[in-house]
Amino acid sequence: MAYQVPLFINGHFVTSASTITQPVINPATQELLAELPMATDTEIEQAVAGAKQAFQSWKETPVPERARLMMRYQALLKEHHDELAELLAKDTGKTFEDAKGDVWRGIEVVEQAANIPAQLMGETVGNVAGGIDTSSYLQPLGVCVGITPFNFPAMIPLWMFPLAVACGNTFILKPSEQVPLTPVRLLELLVKAGIPDGVVQLVHGGQKQVEQLLEHPDTRAISFVGSAAVAQSIYKTGTSHMKRVQCMAGAKNHCVIMPDADKGQALNQLVGASVGAAGQRCMAISVAVFVGQSKAWIPELADKLSTLRPGAWDDTEAAFGPVISKAAKARIVDLIQQGKHEATCLLDGSDCEVESLPDGNWVGPTLFTDVTPEMAIYQQEIFGPVLCCVCVDSLEAAIQLVNRNPYGNGTSIFTRSGGAARKYQHEIEVGQVGINVPIPVPLPFFSFTGWKGSFMGDLHAYGKQAVRFYTETKTITTRWVYNEEEASDQPNLTIH
C-alpha cells in the first residue's frame, strides 16, 4: 500500500477516514509517491473547531514568545534545507538547486516573522484633544486559511502561516493536492520548533474542502495563491461570506528589450527567466517585447535556448525539470500546436525526450516569434517553457502592449537609458517591475504586489501588508485626569 499523506489536526498527524484519495505522482517517472486523502466534512470541522479553540490561548501568548518560536523554526528549516529541497525536488520535479531556492525564499519569510514585535507596533498621538491621547494596536483575527498552488510547495505556504501565526492567529493550510509532501515536512519541523497543538492545522482536498473552509462561520481570513479562474471564484465566495480575502492569481509577464540594452546580459537573463523551473513560475517571463532593432537578436536567443534541456532533479546538467502532470503537458503541447498555426515557431519542445526517463512530462524550450495579442499563445498563461516574442517600434508601443494585458504580476526592461527605465517604471500598470533584473520578486520586508488580473484584494502577501492583512486595528482614545487630592489619599506606593 502506498504511503497515505497524513492530516495534521490538533497537534497530531492522523490518517484520514476518507475513502476518496488521489495519487501523488513523481512527474519525472510517474512513480506513485503517495495517496492523498480528500479530507471528510468532519475532519475539516475538527480542524476549524481546534483552531478556534487554540486561538483563545495563542492570542494571549506574549509577542516575543511567538517571535522566539519563529527563530527556532528558522534555524530548523536551515538545518534541514537540503533534505527539504530533495523531498520537494522529487515531488515537483524541480532541479535540486531550484528546489533549494524554493525553500530558501520561504526561510526568508520566517526571518521576517521572527521580527514580529517591531512589525506589530501601532501608532500613537498624544493630546489629540485636551488631556486625551489616542493609540492603536494590531490584534489578531482568529482562524485564518491558506490555499496554495503546486509550483512553490515550500515558499508559498511559508508566505502565509509563519506571519499569520506570529501575529497571533491560528491557521489551516490546504496545500496543492499535487505536491503535499513538502508541506507535511514543514509542519513536522514546526512541531519540533514548539508550536502548540491546534495553532496550525493541515487538511487536504480540492474544491469541496476549500468551499467548506470558505463558507465556515468560524474562519476569518483567506489567503489564496493559484490560477486566475480559481482565484476569482474564491474571492467571490469568500467575500460573499464576509471573509477578508487576498488572492494572488495567474500572470503573463513581459520583458521589454530596448535596442540600447547590453545584449549578452539581456539574452542570458531572458533564457533563465522564461524556461527556468519549466516556466512554472508566476513571475516567469512568457513574453519578450523587442523594441526596434533589438529584434535582430531573436536568432541568437533561439540558439541559446536550444542548448538547454530538461532532466531529473539530481541531473546537474539539466536546466529544468518536467512539467507537473501529464494533463499539464497535454495542455501546453496543445497550445504549442495552436501557436504553430498562428505565429512563427523557432523552437518546438513538444517532442522532448530525456534519456532513461521515458515517462517524464518533458517539454523542451519553445520559442515563437511574430506573436500578436490576438493569438491564444499570447492570451493564455501557458505555464510551460514557452517564450513568445512580440516586436514593436517604440518604447511607447511596448508600454501600451503591456498595459493592455489583463494581468499585472511582474515585468522587466533591459536598457542602458535611465530615461527609458524611468518612463517604463512610472507608466507601466504592473505591480512588480525589474530594471535590468528579469524576475523582480521583492524580498519579504517588501510585499508581493501583483496588480490587475493577477491579484484580488487590498493587502498583498508578506511584508507589512501581510501583517495588516492578518490583524485588526483597535484604536483606543484615553482620558485620564490627575487629581492631586485623590492621589494624596492613596497609600504610599514608593518602590524601595
CA–CA separation, 387 and 364 (whole Å): 11
- Region from 62-70, 115-123, 249-257, 265-273 binding ligand NAD, contact rule CB under 6 A: 249-257
Shortest distance (Å) from residue 39 CB to ligand NAD: 12
Here's the x/- map for ligand NAD, 125-154, by CB under 6 A: it reads as ----------------------xxxxxx--
Applying CB under 6 A, among 70, 251, 371, 421 the residue interacting with ligand NAD is: 251
Cβ-based nearer residue to ligand NAD, 150 or 362: 150
Binding status of residue 279 toward ligand NAD by CB under 6 A: no
Pairing of the two strands 219-225 and 244-248? parallel
Instruction: Report 368-397 residues binding ligand NAD (CB under 6 A).
Output: 381, 383
Binding status of residue 210 toward ligand NAD by CB under 6 A: yes
Q: What separation in angstroms does the CA of 112 have from each of 101, 163, 233, 268, 345?
A: 17, 8, 30, 32, 44
Active site residue ranges: 282
Cβ-based nearer residue to ligand NAD, 246 or 369: 246
388, 389, 391, 397 alpha-carbon torsion, rounded to 10°:
50
Binding status of residue 181 toward ligand NAD by CB under 6 A: no
Cβ-based nearer residue to ligand NAD, 88 or 391: 88
Cβ-based nearer residue to ligand NAD, 140 or 157: 157
Shortest distance (Å) from residue 151 CB to ligand NAD: 5
Question: Most distant CA pair in the chain: distance in Å?
Answer: 93
Binding status of residue 227 toward ligand NAD by CB under 6 A: yes
- Region from 188-196, 224-232, 261-269, 339-347 binding ligand NAD, contact rule CB under 6 A: 224-232
Which amino acid is present at 207? Q
Binding status of residue 158 toward ligand NAD by CB under 6 A: no
CA–CA separation, 129 and 352 (whole Å): 73
Shortest distance (Å) from residue 248 CB to ligand NAD: 3
- Region from 110-118, 180-188, 227-235, 413-421 binding ligand NAD, contact rule CB under 6 A: 227-235
Applying CB under 6 A, among 206, 292, 440, 442 the residue interacting with ligand NAD is: 206
Cβ-based nearer residue to ligand NAD, 40 or 151: 151
CA–CA separation, 153 and 437 (whole Å): 24
Q: What separation in angstroms does the CA of 292 have from each of 303, 338, 397, 398, 404?
A: 21, 27, 10, 10, 20
Cβ neighbours of residue 171 closer than 8 Å, sequence gap 6 or more: 51, 143, 144, 145, 146, 160, 161, 164, 165, 199, 200, 201
Provide the grid cell at 285.
517571463
Cβ proximity of 201 and 107 under 8 Å: no
Instruction: Report 37-76 residues binding ligand NAD (CB under 6 A).
Output: none
Query: What is the number of alpha carbons within 13 Å of residue 180 lying toward its C-beta?
Result: 28
CA–CA separation, 85 and 98 (whole Å): 8
Applying CB under 6 A, among 74, 454, 465, 471 the residue interacting with ligand NAD is: 454
Binding status of residue 213 toward ligand NAD by CB under 6 A: no
Nearest to 424 by CA among 451, 389, 397, 393: 397
Cβ proximity of 370 and 343 under 8 Å: yes
Residue bearing cell 464576509: 242
Cβ-based nearer residue to ligand NAD, 36 or 87: 36
Shortest distance (Å) from residue 142 CB to ligand NAD: 21
Here's the x/- map for ligand NAD, 4-43, by CB under 6 A: it reads as ----------------------------------------
With b for 16 or more beta-carbon neighbours within 10 A and e for fewer, the 363-385 pattern comes to bbbbbbbbbeeebebbeebbbbb
Q: Which positions lie near ligand NAD, rule CB under 6 A?
A: 147-152, 174, 176-177, 206-207, 210, 225-227, 230, 233-234, 248-251, 282, 381, 383, 409, 448, 450, 454
